[in-house]
Amino acid sequence: MATIEDFQKLDIRVGRVLSCDAFPEAHKPAYKLMIDFGAKIGTKRSSVQITENYRMEDLVGSLVLGVVNFPPRQIGTFLSEVLTLGVPDAQGRVILIRPTGDVPIGGRLY
């Protein structure tokens, strides 16, 4: 069993997608996101396999949740700095976890 202390080690923040680009070099269809997590965290990059449910132009300006304190991970030619969070739909395609209202970027999940 995980403890509340284990959960508190994760730094999950709200960010706003600044840009979304195709990632044709990825093994599975993916996008490259630039996400602004506010003054404390800054702008971070994330590789996301969400092409089946999201168009690039619809992601720009949207809010997402991401784990900002994992070590960077090399995804092919791209260094992903943040784990953008999602859950599978009935077909196993990723649905992003997002705030239902307009909240300040950088806010921490608790």
Q: Choose among 76, 81, 66: nearest CA to 11.
A: 66
For the chain, the structural domain boundaries read 4-96
Residue 14 has which token pair?
Answer: 């709200």
Asked if residues 105 and 38 have their Cβ atoms less than 8 Å apart, the reply is yes
Which pLDDT belongs to residue 55?
96
Taking the alpha carbons at both ends of the chain, their separation in whole angstroms is 19
Please give the class, per CATH, of domain 4-96: mainly beta
pLDDT in tens, the chain (110 residues): 999 999 999 999 999 999 999 999 998 999 999 999 999 999 999 999 999 999 999 999 999 999 999 999 999 899 999 999 999 999 999 999 999 999 999 999 99
Which pLDDT belongs to residue 105?
98
